[in-house]
Every structure is written in C-alpha cells, then in structure tokens.
Amino acid sequence: MATPDIHEIPAGPHASEVPELAQPARPAAAALNAPFFVEVLASKDEVKHRHQVNALPIRIGRGYDNDFILDDPHTAAHHAIVEQGEDGSLHIRDLGSHNGIVHRGKRLPLISINGNTVVRLGHTNLRVRAADFQVSDELADTTIHSWEGWPPALSGLAIMALLSLLSTWLSDVSKYETIRYLMAAAYVLSGGLIWSGIWAFANRLFGGHARFGRHLFIAGCGMAAMEAWSLFSATAAYALSLEFLSRYGSHVVIAITAAMVYFHLSIINPRHPRRIAMTAIILGLIGSGLMLMMNYQRYGQAADELYMSQILPPSIRLSADQPVDQFINDAKSLKEKVDADRSKAVGHDDQDADAAE
C-alpha cells in the first residue's frame, strides 16, 4: 500500500476544516520618542535654529500649512515629509519638488535618516532628531570669564605704549624730543586699535560678542613678540655671526602673525581648535612663500637683505674675527660674481638693442 504524500491534504468531509498555513508575524515598528526637532544647519553643521514638532509626520516646505516652514525660495510649497517607515526608522520623502532632496551630493526620492543625517532641501541644510537623541558630554570650561572688558584692553594698550617708547629709545641717535616719542606711541596705538577693531567686528558678527579687550590684548602681545624677536635676532646675528637670523627674520614675524590670527579666531569660535590651527599654519606658509618670491624678485635671492644691515657696539661681539686674508679672498670672490652678473646684464641689453634695430 502506497504511503500518501505528506504535502497532500486528505479528501473528505472535513477537508474544508483544515486551517490555512500561518503567515510569519511582521515585527512591530520601534516607537520613537516624541517630540522631534528639525534643525537648520550652517555650512559647518552648526545649528542656526531648531523647531519642535510634537508628532509624526512632519511636513516641510514654504507653505504655511506645513509643520516646519522653510524660508528658502529654492524649496517647494510642499517639499518633503518626514515619517516613520515600516522598520521603525525615520524617512524623509520627496513630495515631487523640482530641486528634490540631496544627501551627500546625490538626489534621492527617499532617504532613511537618523539624528546625524544631514540633507539639503534647496539651499537649506537640515536634520531631524528625536527627543531620545544622545548628545555628547559637556566640554570643560577653560575660559577665564573675568578676563573681559577693561582689564585686557588696558593691558594691551599699556604693552603697545611701552613697546613704542622702548623701540624709539633704542633707535634714537639724535637730540631728545618729546614729540618724537608721542608720535611713535600714537602710530603704534592707532595700528593696534584698528587691527583689534577689525577682529572685534568679526567677533560681534560671528560670535555674538565683540570682546574688544581680548583682541586688543592679543594684538599687544603679538607686537611685543615681534619687537622681542627683532632685538634678539639682530643682537644674536651680530654677536655670534649668525647672519641667517637677520636675513630670514621676516619668516618668524610671519609665524608670530599667524599665531595672532590663531588666537583671534579662537576667541571668535573656540569649538574647532584644529581647524583654526590648520588655517593659521596655511596662512603662515602662504605668507612665507610670498616673502621668498618677493625677495627673489627684488634682490635675486631668497634672503630679506643682501648683508647684515644692523651694526652694534663691538663689545657685544662674541665670535672670532675673520683673518684679513680670508676677508680679501671673500671680497675677490664677490667681485668676480658681481662682474659676471654685470657682463650678463650688458650682453642682454646689447642683444635687445640689436633686435630693436
């Protein structure tokens, strides 16, 4: 007797009573914690403003019947909708707009989003976060809040004034005149105030507060560092015969200026120290490169000057004197080089004159 196939349903009066095969149950969608927050972002993912929506779906567009209204002429009246998908996650769906939804440079009709997903609608970057989004730990507050207003401002002005008086006194070789010192102080203070005012305006524009005193203090410290380097490089170059200190000293001044830019930008926006440091380094490298090209165009060499231009009292000189024979040989070599350069220049001029005729 043949064994019936196990897949067959036996016939008979009770065949209709055989239950249908059960379908696998669809998993329930995970519940998202309301309310939701739609955040409009700046170019560096910084929140410009956020809007709370109490429930899904979230309709987004320029029309006043939306849950989140965009003030962007490059978005449609009903541009997109944020809703919960079958898997429980959030989705943003294009509602047939002309410019669509762009994520990572690609236009997509439907995008699965989380709290860190940034999408662009028209010219507006935004993201959606639920109430249970985990934020990062708080940052340690290292700001000296008492160093605001008049204390840093007066300190910066005092540094600039003393710096101008010291510099004028060191370079003064004529009869003492008060007006000369007052004019030097006025020039230095005016330059420091203008420099600091520009940064304070930028701080007010992008940071919300001017903080003029802090920027003035940074300017004073930067000027003091430049003057200290000028005195040190001139003295060390003369005393130890280290000519490169004076011949390439402008690059240190550029580095000090880049450091000043770093501290100014850190006052405006302290959230991205690495980006600010890289910006300052790049600006310093660009400045040094331009200085090298200018020197080569002006002098035919990369150094700032052809020879050590500042001579100090012989009593501070520590390096040994050169023998007379070595000095004469060096002078002969220099003369030969100059004569060769002059001959080349004359030859080029003659060729140009012949070509003109």
DSSP letter string, 193-242: HHHHHHHHHHHHHHHS---HHHHHHHHHHHHHHHHHHHHHHHHHHHHHT-
What is the structure's pLDDT at 7? Answer: 40
Confidence of residue 351 (pLDDT cuts 50, 70, 90): low
What is the structure's pLDDT at 350? Answer: 58
d(CA 70, CA 77): 9
In this prediction, residues 267-291 reach a mean pLDDT of 93
Paired sense of beta strands 68-69 and 58-61, if any: parallel
In this prediction, residues 285-309 reach a mean pLDDT of 89
d(CA 318, CA 304): 24
What is the structure's pLDDT at 271? Answer: 79
Confidence of residue 18 (pLDDT cuts 50, 70, 90): very low
Least confident of 74-78, 163-167, 219-223: 163-167
d(CA 139, CA 130): 22
Q: Express each pLDDT in 22-38 by its tens digit.
A: 444 444 444 578 899 99
What is the structure's pLDDT at 327? Answer: 79
Q: Which residue has the higher pLDDT, 313 or 57?
A: 57
What is the structure's pLDDT at 40? Answer: 96
Q: Express each pLDDT in 108-162 by its tens digit.
A: 999 999 999 999 999 999 999 999 999 989 888 777 788 888 999 999 999 999 9
pLDDT value at 5 more than 70: no
pLDDT value at 73 more than 70: yes
Burial bucket for residue 48 (CB in 10 Å: 0-12, 13-18, 19+): exposed
Q: What's the chain's average pLDDT? A: 86
Least confident of 3-12, 55-64, 179-188: 3-12
Max alpha carbon distance in the chain (Å)? 136
pLDDT value at 46 more than 70: yes
